[in-house]
Amino acid sequence: MQTNKQRITGLDFARALSIIGMIFVNYNMVLGNPVDTSWLGVVLHNLSGNSSATFVMLAGAGLTLMSYKPFASETEKQKFRLIALKRSLFLFILGLLLYTVWSGDILHFYAGYMLLGVWFLYRPLRNFIWCIVGLILGFLGLVIFFDYSTGWDWSTLTYTDFWSYKGLLRNIFFNGWHPICPWLAFYLIGMILGRIDWNNTKIIGKLWIISISVIVITELISAVGTSVIATNNQLYPLFDISTQIPPLPLYMLSSIAISLLIILVSVWFCNRFGALKITGALCKTGQLSLTHYLLHILVGITGFMLIFHPEIHSQKEMLQMSRYSPLFIAIYATTTFIVLVVFSVLWKKKFKQGPLETILRKITG
């Protein structure tokens, strides 16, 4: 297990990759056509779910790296837990505020992952494993016994009773975009990754084998299942790993493996090419990931709509507007990311933390 606090730059690099993935996915969802069948449209669609899963997994690793010490005293443990709890509350409030302009917000879920993750900080790894398995299989049971569509208006992609306490809890724990059950599994796996020794080649080698093997197996099962079962069959979603709605076991396993592979590749790349300027720039971008998440929603999406589509005042109207081509989405998303990279490099020349990261630390410690 890792006992030092040296920053793992590969994780920052992976955060940058998750942010660019989320930019592509969210821009395509709001401005593009998510069901476009062109090759570029298919690529944009297939980014859905995996970018957010990687973001959540890295958040879990971040909590461990920030708070976990194998031989921490009880006083130190309480201090770390208190800081994490305060940050969870901050993110929850920020997420609710962001939800008023962006119903696809992940921060209010992120707050829930952190709140529950605090309980696992000093638990043995077997507790993590049992909970991860329970979350993935338990969600399948929930979908069987409860109506997954409750609260949703699928024609407008709006959650009709989000602001009621029942609707809010249902959204966060069961059928929102990134519900705690089963998405907490990504966060817990990230917490495990935060404990491992990234200099141990034997452990890293096993992770490479596991991630690639699971990707191959889940892809094969999905390919066979979706080719044999009709799309209108109730069993079809069990084999469809191209969508996170609902996040059934095969999708979860596939996204866990893909996210892990992205992180492994990022760590390898930084170890091999860490001296390159582009590597350093992307690592700086990853260190401001929370700020960039907020900026791409408030400026990249909300700002774009206010300037170019001021006549649109609701999500229903947004879904009915003319859609932009996959090429436009790719160019716009890439341009946004380049601007964020430049901003990150310039900001880090003067400041240690990003704007939102600084506010978070000032308020919560």
- Taking only the tens of pLDDT, the chain with its 365 residues reads 444 445 789 999 999 999 999 999 999 988 998 778 888 988 888 777 789 999 999 999 999 998 877 767 888 888 888 999 999 999 999 999 999 989 999 999 999 999 999 999 889 999 999 999 999 999 999 999 999 999 999 888 889 999 999 999 999 999 999 999 999 999 999 999 999 999 999 999 999 999 999 999 999 999 999 999 987 788 899 999 988 999 999 999 999 999 999 999 999 999 999 999 999 999 999 999 999 999 999 999 999 999 998 888 777 777 777 789 999 999 999 999 999 999 999 999 999 999 999 999 999 97
Q: Is residue 281 part of a domain?
A: yes
Long-range CB pairs of 335-338 (<8 Å, 24+ gap) are 336/23, 336/27, 336/296, 336/300, 337/19, 337/20, 337/23
Q: Rounded to an integer, what distance in angstroms lies between the CA atom of residue 361 and that of residue 145?
A: 42
- pLDDT confidence of residue 4: 42
Q: Give every CB contact of residue 231 below 8 A, 6+ residues apart in sequence.
A: none
289 assigned to some structural domain: yes
Please indicate, yes or no, if residue 3 is contained in any of the structural domains. no
Distance of CA 253 to the CA centre of its chain: 15
Outline where DSSP puts E strands in the chain: 152-153, 158-159
* pLDDT value at residue 199: 92
Number of domains in the chain: 1
What residues contact 307, with CB distance under 8 A and at least 6 apart? none
Task: Give dist(CA 117, CA 120) in Å, integer.
Answer: 5
Q: Evaluate whether residue 176 is within a structural domain.
A: yes
Assign 313 to helix, strand or coil.
coil
In a domain, 243, yes or no: yes
User: Rg of the chain over CA atoms, in angstroms?
Assistant: 20
Q: Contact 261/320 with Cβ under 8 angstroms?
A: no
**pLDDT value of residue 94:** 97
* Host domain of residue 45: 9-364
Q: Residue 173 falls within a domain, yes or no?
A: yes
**Is 341 among the domain residues?**
yes
pLDDT value of residue 155: 83
Q: Which phi and psi angles does 153 have, rounded to 5°? A: -110, 95
Would you say residue 1 lies in a domain? no
Residue whose pair of structure tokens reads 């130190």 in the numeric block? 76
The one-letter amino acid code at 141 reads G
The b/e string for 85-102 (b: 16+ C-beta within 10 A; e otherwise) is eebbebbbebbbebbeeb
The pTM of this model reads 0.94
Predicted pLDDT at 6: 52
Q: Give the relative orientation of helices 9-30 and 50-67 as an angle to the nearest 10 degrees.
A: 150
Q: Residue 297: CA atoms inside 13 Å, Cβ hemisphere, count?
A: 21
Task: Please tell me the predicted confidence (pLDDT) of residue 71.
Answer: 67
Return the pLDDT at 301. 94
